[in-house]
């Protein structure tokens, strides 16, 4: 049974902008004791996070606990992490490089991914009494997308393949990507790209421009909903020179919550290795484009993976 929860949280002196708050009540016995509180989940204001929050909630409910999900916390990591420290939230989906740079204040790309995850766990445990549990499997980072016909015409598989073709192609990207130091300029410098034309295009229109032939190349995120659109033939190019830092998703959880809710760790670890970039993009497409409710999309996916009963 789902019910709305319009409560706003004031944490670390910051008003958390709550886009949606929602409480889900589980029906199993583990949370039936008098005075039992819900497991409190936070998500950032993006479709992907809403879906992941629902997945976490469903798995925790199955373990027998009531769940409260606060959706769309404004400021994302900047506001969720202080709220985690204060105990307002118990867990949330987070990305490795976001924690590494925004919370721990380390330089991006400082160490290899496997070393980063181990170090994240170590520092979060020591500094915040929190842990990172399981890598979901997908990496939501920058990529370069082209139409399928363009990829075929110029034999494009890796981003470095663009160097020979860029002089005949038009790049279109959202203005913040084109302007930021680690965006378009870094892409061109790293791969030696000189495009025939460069166009500023609103983020909401660039896939339409790409499909319509206005542009030939654009920047994307690896789990963008439109990459799963069956009506568009798009190809993403491998970052063969490893320009982009990686944003693997995982669950950050307060260790006190793990002690308070027996079986919570096991429930959360069911997310380990669960999702590929293609699967995450497909789920984002279902919700953003097809209008599927995020909880239904999450539930159906978990049922398909054999983690929930139909």
pLDDT digits (tens, 9 = 90+) for 153-194: 999 999 999 999 999 999 999 887 888 777 899 999 999 999
Point out the least confidently predicted range of 11-20, 47-56, 75-84, 124-133: 11-20
Tokens representing residue 258 in the block: 């793990």
Q: For 126-146, what is the mean pLDDT?
A: 97
Residue 79's closest CA among 122, 42, 123, 54?
42
For the domain 2-139+249-304, what is the CATH superfamily, name and number?
A: Periplasmic binding protein-like II (3.40.190.10)
Q: For 62-87, what is the mean pLDDT?
A: 96
Point out the least confidently predicted range of 7-11, 83-87, 216-220, 293-297: 7-11
CATH architecture, domain 142-237 = 3-Layer(aba) Sandwich (3.40)
pLDDT digits (tens, 9 = 90+) for 6-62: 333 333 333 344 444 444 444 455 554 534 899 999 999 999 999 999 999 999 999
Point out the least confidently predicted range of 25-29, 261-265, 278-282: 25-29
* Domains of the chain, residue spans: 2-139+249-304, 142-237
Q: How far apart are CA 162 and CA 176, in angstroms?
A: 22
pTM above 0.85, yes or no: no
Q: Which helix (H) or strand (E) holds 275?
A: none
CA 31 to mean position of chain CA atoms: 29
The pLDDT value given to residue 73:
95
The pLDDT value given to residue 15:
39
Residue 95 confidence (pLDDT) above 90: yes
pLDDT digits (tens, 9 = 90+) for 199-247: 998 877 899 999 999 999 999 999 999 999 888 899 999 999 999 999 9
pLDDT level of residue 148 (50, 70, 90 thresholds): very high
| Matching fold, domains 2-139+249-304 and 142-237 | yes
CB-count exposure of residue 163 (10 Å: 0-12, 13-18, 19+): middle
């Amino acid at each position: 049974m789902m019910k709305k929860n319009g409560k706003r949280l004031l944490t670390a002196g910051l008003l958390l902008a709550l886009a949606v708050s929602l409480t889900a009540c589980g029906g199993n016995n583990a949370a039936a004791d008098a005075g039992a509180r819900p497991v409190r989940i936070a998500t950032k204001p993006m479709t992907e996070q809403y879906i992941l929050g629902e997945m976490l909630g469903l798995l925790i409910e199955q373990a027998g606990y009531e769940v409260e999900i606060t959706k769309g916390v404004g400021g994302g990591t900047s506001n969720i992490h202080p709220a985690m420290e204060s105990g307002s939230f118990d867990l949330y989906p987070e990305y490795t490089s976001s924690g590494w740079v925004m919370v721990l204040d380390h330089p991006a790309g400082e160490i290899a991914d496997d070393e980063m995850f181990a170090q994240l766990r170590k520092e979060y445990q020591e500094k915040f009494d929190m842990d990172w549990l399981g890598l979901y499997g997908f990496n939501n980072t920058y990529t370069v997308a082209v139409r399928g016909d363009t990829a075929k015409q110029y034999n494009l598989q890796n981003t470095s393949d663009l160097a020979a073709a860029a002089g005949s192609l038009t790049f279109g990207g959202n203005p913040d990507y084109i302007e930021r130091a680690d965006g378009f300029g870094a892409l061109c410098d790293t791969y030696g790209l000189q495009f025939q034309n460069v166009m500023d295009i609103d983020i909401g229109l660039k896939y339409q421009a790409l499909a319509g032939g206005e542009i030939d190349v654009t920047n994307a995120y690896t789990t963008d909903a439109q990459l799963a659109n069956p009506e568009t033939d798009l190809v993403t190019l491998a970052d063969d020179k490893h320009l982009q830092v990686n944003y693997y998703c995982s669950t950050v959880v307060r260790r006190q919550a793990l002690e308070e809710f027996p079986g919570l760790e096991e429930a959360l670890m069911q997310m380990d290795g669960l999702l590929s970039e293609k699967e995450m993009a497909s789920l984002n497409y279902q919700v953003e484009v097809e209008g599927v409710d995020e909880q239904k999309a999450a539930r159906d996916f978990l049922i398909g993976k054999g983690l929930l009963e139909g």
